[in-house]
Structure 1
Amino acid sequence: MAFTFAAFCYLLALIAVGFCIFFAIYTVICVDELRTDYKNPIEQCRNLNQLILPEYIIHGTFTVLFIFSWQLISILANLPLAFYHIYTYAKRPVMSGPGIYDPTTILNRSTLSSTLRISWIKLAFYLVSFFYYLYAMIYTLVTSN
């Protein structure tokens, strides 16, 4: 049982996905509060936009680590979400700061429902990824020479 670079990547990915799960849960809660008109959209979008770049950087970091350690299943699982993050950030509305949520359009029914759906999908992806990374880390530790 040896601690390889792949096991190290999976360990870092476990910790990073824990943060991404928190970000996804927070996004779901904030968007749901917007849907029920409990919060001000300007404040909520400001709070949500502060989490966009950290989430994208965290996800990009462990995706690059998987590329360096050549973990094909993890690479193939993470690349679509990484490309989606790049696409959404490239197509973001013109704002003064970083982020993808615009307070003037977030309350549109279609925008709000798609944002909520995407948040739930990201949460499910991160939860499945967490358990897969846990399994893969243990498997890598047990089978390495």
Structure 2
Amino acid sequence: MAFTFVAFCYLLAMILSAVLIFFAIYHIIAFDELKTDYKNPIDQCNSLNPLVLPEYGLHMFFTILFLLAGQFGTVALNMPVIGYNIYRYANRPVMSQPGLYDPTTIMNADVLSRCMKEGWMKLGFFLLSFFYYLYSMIYVLVSSSA
């Protein structure tokens, strides 16, 4: 059974999707802690903001790998989320450090609600992506050996 570059891309994307799933779960838990006043906004934003750019970078990295591998359907699947991430980062609050979350506005009910919804949507997307990449990797391996 030949392990092709496309299969490698899907395997790597599957592993990185698992990492992104953990990032999304951490974001959901962090926003729930803010909602229930277990942590203060400054500490929470200081722990969440360093994860934003690595999340975006990982997602863009394996999307570029799919582009190089010629998997344009998978690239098209990932482009809306990448576009949203670029839009979200371009319209972030003015801060002195990289990240999306500003401690002065994160406790607003609408901002907190939007961040929670965003976390759940990303978790759902990365879970579905994980299983799509798993299926695609198996499909590529089986079809290349036949």
TM class, shorter-length: over 0.9
Residue 5 of structure 1: aligned partner: 5
Q: What residue identity is the alignment partner of 2:18?
A: G
CA distance in 2, matches of 1:47, 1:80: 26
Residue 31 of structure 2: aligned partner: 31
Residue 14 of structure 1: aligned partner: 14
Residue 94 of structure 1: aligned partner: 94
TM-superposed deviation, 1:144: 1.2
Residue 128 of structure 1: aligned partner: 128
| TM-score, length of structure 1 as denominator length | 0.97
CA distance in 1, matches of 2:81, 2:63: 10
Residue 71 of structure 1: aligned partner: 71
C-alpha deviations, 1:29-71, integer Å up to 9, x for none? Answer: 0001101111110000110101001100000000101111111
C-alpha deviations, 1:85-109, integer Å up to 9, x for none? Answer: 1111111111111000000000001
CA distance in 2, matches of 1:44, 1:144: 47
CA distance in 2, matches of 1:11, 1:67: 15
CA distance in 2, matches of 1:138, 1:10: 9
CA distance in 1, matches of 2:102, 2:70: 37
Q: What residue identity is the alignment partner of 1:31?
A: F
Q: Describe how 1:111-122 pairs up with structure 2 within 5 A.
A: 111-122=111-122
SS in 2 for 1:119: helix
Gaps of 5+ in 2: none
CA distance in 2, matches of 1:41, 1:90: 22
Where do 4+ consecutive residues of structure 1 move more than 3 Å?
none
TM-superposed deviation, 1:73: 2.2
Percentage of identical aligned residues: 59
Gaps of 5+ in 1: none
**For the aligned residues, what is the CA RMSD?**
0.8
- The answer to whether residue 44 in structure 2 is matched with residue 44 in structure 1 is yes
Aligned residues: 145
TM-superposed deviation, 1:72: 2.3
SS in 2 for 1:144: helix
